[in-house]
Amino acid sequence: MGYSKEIWNQANEELRKRRERRSMERERRRSVCFAKVPRLADIEYAMIQTGIQLSRIVLEGKDVVAEVNQLSQKHQALIKERTALLAQLGYPPDYLTPKPYCPICEDTGYTDTARCACLDKLLKEIAAARLNSESPLQLCSFETFKLDYYPDRQDPSLGINIREKMTEIYRSLKSYAEHFSLSSKSLFLWGPPGLGKTHLALAIAGVVLDKGYSVIYMPAQNMVNRLEKDRFSSGTEGEAETAFLECDLLIIDDLGTEFLNSFVQAALYNVINSRILSGKPTIISTNLEFATLRERYPDRLFSRLTGCFADLYFVGEDIRRKKKKED
Ligand SMILES: [Zn+2]
């Protein structure tokens, strides 16, 4: 299991672009500054010379301490002069050396001992973006969610005001998205169809993505298709499964609509359970009642869904029908 060669290539290409952008920006800043203040170019040349002299002294075994002190003083004086000249131009002391995207590995993707966290993040984001490419992530936001569609009256069987309940759910999911972190809890959105579960799940995905986290949104059937493709076709190297396990937030929409077989049951359990064990948040939405879920899924999966997720029950009347009437 791991990321496919294509994902690796894409990640390496992105790192190469980051290094290239930095080097081009460095050249641009230098040429602008050197044209305005030619002395800055002389200073740079002098600093290179002191560096060369320093290595020569060490190689020739001369009185290292005295010479090094002298060169170091010269070097400090050059830095001071450069800082003053850059300040006159309105720039900070390090302006001629633009900062890398990742200061830990300087955009190489590796530290001396390990893969850098920035490369892990890049791999997760690329894998998620590939899986999200068919999802309508941009279509639904919290701003376009209309609470007016929910009637302002009591639900006789539940004894609660429908609009008030949905306002509460809306606010709590909006706050969840805005305050999302890797330690956010997992959510279970359930209730009859057409009550805005998908809309709000997509809205969460949008906000959390904007915060810089990797998010995968997948209808359950598509997710299952990807897992089966991983398992039964060659050349995918477990790409989808890795992405489902590694992403910061996984959203499985419409659980219960997927075609079930023993492979699918085990694969779903593995993804959901592994994410729980590694403490990663997952959001699941379903139109099914708990009794149906219990019949449909093995006990171990059902107990994960009921025991490890905070559940929010959606109420109201099918808003898709209401929207149609308005159109
Ligand atoms: Zn890095």
C-alpha neighbours within 13 Å on the C-beta side of residue 169: 28
Distance in angstroms (rounded) separating the CA atoms of residues 135 and 21: 31
Q: Where are the domains of the chain?
A: 5-117, 134-326
pLDDT at 56: 83
CA 16 – ligand 1 centroid, Å: 12
Assigned superfamily of 134-326: P-loop containing nucleotide triphosphate hydrolases (3.40.50.300)
140 vs 27, higher pLDDT: 27
Instruction: Write out pLDDT tens, residues 265-320.
Output: 999 999 999 999 999 999 999 999 999 999 999 999 999 988 999 999 999 877 76
CA 117 – ligand 1 centroid, Å: 6
CA 271 – ligand 1 centroid, Å: 28
Name the band, by pLDDT with cuts 50, 70 and 90, for residue 128. Answer: confident
CA 106 – ligand 1 centroid, Å: 6
The whole-number average pLDDT for the span 235-248 is 84
The whole-number average pLDDT for the span 99-124 is 93
CA 317 – ligand 1 centroid, Å: 49
CA 98 – ligand 1 centroid, Å: 16
Going by C-alpha positions, the residue among 321, 314, 322, 317 that lies closest to residue 151 is 317
Name the band, by pLDDT with cuts 50, 70 and 90, for residue 64. Answer: confident
Which residue's structure tokens are 């779903």? 268
Which residue's structure tokens are 């590995």? 105
pLDDT tops 80 at residue 61: no
Name the band, by pLDDT with cuts 50, 70 and 90, for residue 80. Answer: very high
CA 12 – ligand 1 centroid, Å: 12
210 vs 139, higher pLDDT: 210
97 vs 139, higher pLDDT: 97
Instruction: Write out pLDDT tens, residues 144-197.
Output: 899 988 999 988 888 899 999 999 999 999 999 999 999 999 999 999 998 999
The residues placing their C-beta within 5 Å of ligand 1, an ion, are 102, 104-105, 116, 118
Mean pLDDT taken over the chain: 90
CA 20 – ligand 1 centroid, Å: 15
CA 280 – ligand 1 centroid, Å: 22
